[in-house]
């Protein structure tokens, strides 16, 4: 074992292997013994392919390469794939229209250049979709599409947002979720049913302070859904006031994107995944309302589909990349159908440690700490590792303990890496999720800062080499943390929000009132927007920052990043700025994912003062002495 400064260790986990070898799975479906899923490929400029696997035929791609499955409803999309027996319907990215794949034939079903579609369901000769019209204003509704003549009729409209249209097995009732500004779907939604014969509508559950998610019809025709009325997203059946199995656990994830579910029916048994303290667990709720645990070696489960005693999952553990998993619920036999990325030698796999630590105002916050891991290197005598704090996006998302290749990139080079589930994150109940209401730019910064200081106190990090990074809202947290304290010595801002007023005025419909919850109503609280905008106090940022931005980002326009960059240059703060052509809000192309990882490592090496022993294209750093 060699002794070398932390950060300088050489590693087989390269940025190229992460970017070119990694794919992302979503929207899993199990139908007639075949597993279907979507597969986003950075090596193909971020294209999303439709894949299928069966025991008889193995894995195959179902569509030509000119098709890219992606919905842009709410901008974040999801719900691009619908599997109905042998019929497959999908949304193509280039025109946002619905297509049908059946018996190797592809037909376009819709032809509305002003509209986008997502989150469909099928019943006989009809489809039901969320439609988002884009003309003088953005209008959302649920529509019925006739597969015979392709006519489109609105059947639910007048609310700001809709999701989750699902038809009962007898084809009579349609259920759906709707909500209005300023709520987001994790704040308050309503669950309705619509009688497709009589037109009668009925409110089933929900309201302005109750979040309903993921409705589904049981085999016997009973409507099930998830509600957080008790403070936790638990499972309910229509007509019952009590949860099917009350737990301090989350059976749903925040609906940033359509087409995700954590439960399904195996006859009248409900197979489900739920989150406790950030860890996913799999089990089954039986007819007598008891829970039977199903032992799976995975700590993060993001999607579930159930049929005929088998479960198809997208799952990961610290040792296993996100994988398409097929599990037999009767025998317990599991089969990995496909892994999302290449595996690495076990000695390089940093195993996350759950941390519960004190934060400001008596709060307790949560994180996962990944220690340095490289079997060929050890730190210099007396050296503590530099620490990189990762702030997730959303900011209502959460970081589970999983195989995190971007973390392994750093830990295998001698860094410690910590993902902070600050107040406002999912996975710890509604009260914890609501901590960020009116407190964005305060609670998240406090929790990320206290996480770093806690690691220092525990001897897990070097107090003089603390870094912070984040993308989107995590980039905002990064910039605010750098401007509000001297705790962090370097930062990496990935397409981060810097101008809250501009975000409130210019962003897309889905998030156009999100800041009413996180900051306060605009323009009444305009002064508060400026007080918490990094662009308005960029002069407080004293630590070096590297900034990454996509030139087609509609959520955080390049001008926001460029203003921060120019301010840092003028004040002689070391900084670098990389603008990626053809990228939107989040990088999809392999070459840009690789470049951003390597550029951040190069920048950190110059700022924190450790040598690099790998061939990385240099970055132009302004004001570097």
Task: With cut-offs at 50, 70 and 90, classify the pLDDT of residue 299.
Answer: very high
Q: How far is CA 534 from CA 311, 499, 616, in A?
A: 46, 7, 30
Q: Output the CA angle 335-337-339, nearest 5 degrees.
A: 115
Cα separation, 476 vs 280, whole angstroms:
28
* Model pLDDT, residue 507: 84
Cα separation, 23 vs 39, whole angstroms:
6
DSSP H or E run through 126: strand 126-134
Region 506-531: mean pLDDT is 94
Task: With cut-offs at 50, 70 and 90, classify the pLDDT of residue 586.
Answer: confident
Cα separation, 616 vs 209, whole angstroms:
50
Cα separation, 519 vs 448, whole angstroms:
19
- pLDDT tens column, 191-204: 999 999 999 999 99
Query: Above 80 in pLDDT, residue 109?
Result: yes
Task: With cut-offs at 50, 70 and 90, classify the pLDDT of residue 594.
Answer: very high
Is the CB of residue 186 less than 8 Å from the CB of residue 254?
yes
- Which of 449, 455, 571, 555 has the alpha carbon at shortest distance from 504? 555
Region 218-233: mean pLDDT is 97
DSSP H or E run through 456: helix 443-457
Task: With cut-offs at 50, 70 and 90, classify the pLDDT of residue 332.
Answer: confident
- pLDDT tens column, 450-469: 999 999 999 999 999 999 99
Helices 443-457 and 473-484 meet at what angle, rounded to 10? Answer: 70
Strands (E), 42-97: 47-54, 58-61, 81-84, 87-91
For 156-313, where are the alpha helices, taking DSSP H only? none
Is the CB of residue 27 less than 8 Å from the CB of residue 50?
no
Question: Which residues, listed in sequence order, are joined to residue 49 by a DSSP beta bridge?
Answer: 39
CA 465 to chain centroid, in Å, comes to 29
Cα separation, 437 vs 366, whole angstroms:
18
Cα separation, 247 vs 491, whole angstroms:
39
- Which of 439, 450, 444 has the alpha carbon at shortest distance from 422? 444
What pTM was estimated for this model as a whole?
0.94
* Model pLDDT, residue 320: 94
Half-sphere exposure of 77 (CA within 13 A, CB side): 20
* Model pLDDT, residue 348: 96
Query: Above 90 in pLDDT, residue 235?
Result: yes
Contacts of 147 (CB under 8 A, 6+ apart): 100, 109, 125, 126, 127
Domains of the chain in sequence order: 2-15+344-597 (3.40.50.1820), 70-158 (2.40.10), 172-259 (no CATH)
- Which of 83, 94, 104 has the alpha carbon at shortest distance from 27? 83
Cα separation, 370 vs 241, whole angstroms:
42
238 in helix, strand or coil?
coil
Pairing of strands 387-391, 416-421: parallel
Cβ atoms within 10 A of the Cβ of 200, count? Answer: 10
* Percent of the chain whose predicted confidence (pLDDT) is above 90: 90
Is the CB of residue 389 less than 8 Å from the CB of residue 191?
no
* Model pLDDT, residue 21: 76
Calculate the CA dihedral of residues 498, 431, 119, 313 and round it to 10 degrees.
110
CA-based Rg of the chain, rounded to a whole angstrom? Answer: 24
Region 505-511: mean pLDDT is 89
* Model pLDDT, residue 265: 96
98 in helix, strand or coil?
strand
Cα separation, 297 vs 315, whole angstroms:
9
* Model pLDDT, residue 196: 97
Contacts of 559 (CB under 8 A, 6+ apart): none
Region 491-518: mean pLDDT is 93
* Model pLDDT, residue 397: 92
Strands (E), 267-351: 269-276, 279-285, 291-293, 300-307, 310-316, 323-328, 334-339
Query: Above 80 in pLDDT, residue 67?
Result: yes
């Amino acid at each position: 074992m060699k002794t070398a400064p932390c950060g300088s260790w050489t590693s087989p986990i390269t940025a190229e292997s992460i970017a070119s070898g990694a794919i992302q799975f979503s929207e899993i479906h199990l139908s007639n013994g075949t597993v279907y899923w979507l597969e986003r490929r950075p090596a193909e400029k971020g294209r999303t392919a439709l894949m299928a696997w069966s025991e008889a035929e193995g894995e195959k791609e179902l569509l030509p390469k000119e098709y890219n499955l992606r919905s842009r409803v709410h901008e974040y999309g999801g719900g691009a794939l619908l599997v109905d027996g042998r019929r497959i319907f999908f949304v193509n990215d280039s025109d946002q229209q619905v297509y049908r794949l059946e018996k190797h034939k592809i037909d376009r079903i819709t032809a509305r250049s002003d509209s986008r579609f997502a989150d469909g369901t099928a019943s006989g000769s009809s489809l039901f979709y969320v439609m988002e019209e884009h003309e003088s204003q953005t209008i959302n509704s649920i529509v019925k599409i006739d597969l015979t003549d392709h006519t489109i009729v609105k059947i639910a409209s007048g609310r700001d947002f809709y999701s989750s249209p699902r038809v009962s097995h007898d084809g009579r009732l349609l259920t759906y979720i709707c909500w209005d500004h300023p709520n987001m779907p994790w704040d308050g939604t309503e669950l309705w049913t619509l009688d497709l014969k009589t037109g009668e509508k009925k409110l089933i559950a929900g309201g302005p302070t109750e979040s309903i998610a993921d409705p589904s019809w049981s085999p016997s025709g009973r409507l099930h859904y998830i509600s957080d009325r008790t403070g936790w997203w638990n499972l309910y059946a229509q007509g019952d006031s009590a949860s099917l199995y009350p737990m301090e656990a989350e059976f749903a994830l925040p609906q940033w994107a359509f087409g995700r579910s954590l439960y399904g029916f195996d006859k009248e048994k409900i197979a489900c995944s739920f989150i406790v303290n950030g860890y996913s667990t799999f089990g089954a709720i039986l007819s007598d309302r008891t829970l039977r645990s199903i032992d799976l070696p995975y700590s993060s489960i993001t999607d579930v589909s159930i049929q005929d005693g088998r479960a198809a999952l997208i799952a990961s553990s610290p040792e296993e990349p996100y994988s398409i998993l097929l599990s037999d619920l009767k025998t317990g036999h599991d089969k990995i159908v496909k892994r999302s990325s290449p595996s690495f030698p076990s000695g390089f796999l940093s195993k996350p440690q759950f941390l519960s630590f004190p934060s400001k105002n008596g709060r307790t916050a949560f994180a996962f700490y990944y220690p340095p891991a490289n079997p060929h290197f050890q730190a210099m005598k007396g050296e503590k590792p530099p620490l990189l704090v990762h702030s997730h996006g959303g900011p209502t998302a959460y970081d589970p303990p999983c195989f995190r290749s971007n973390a392994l990139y750093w830990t295998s080079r001698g860094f410690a890496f910590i993902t902070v589930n600050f107040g406002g994150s999912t996975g710890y109940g509604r009260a914890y999720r609501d901590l960020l209401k009116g407190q964005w730019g305060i609670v998240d910064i406090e929790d990320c800062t206290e996480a770093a200081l806690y690691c220092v106190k525990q001897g897990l990090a070097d107090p003089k080499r603390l870094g912070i990074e984040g993308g989107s809202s995590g980039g905002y947290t990064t910039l605010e943390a750098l401007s509000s304290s001297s705790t962090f010595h370097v930062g990496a801002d990935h397409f981060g929000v810097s101008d809250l007023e501009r975000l409130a005025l210019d962003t897309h419909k889905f998030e156009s009132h999100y800041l009413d919850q996180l900051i306060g109503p605009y323009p009444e609280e305009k002064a508060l927007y400026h007080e918490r905008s990094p662009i308005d106090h960029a002069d407080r940022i004293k630590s070096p920052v590297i900034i990454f931005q996509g030139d087609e980002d509609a959520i955080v326009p390049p001008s926001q990043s460029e203003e921060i960059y120019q301010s840092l240059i003028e004040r002689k703060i070391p900084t670098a700025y990389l603008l990626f052509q053809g990228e939107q809000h989040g990088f999809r192309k392999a070459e840009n994912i690789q470049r951003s990882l390597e550029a951040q490592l190069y920048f950190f090496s110059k700022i924190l003062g450790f040598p690099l022993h790998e061939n990385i294209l240099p970055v132009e750093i302004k004001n570097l002495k």
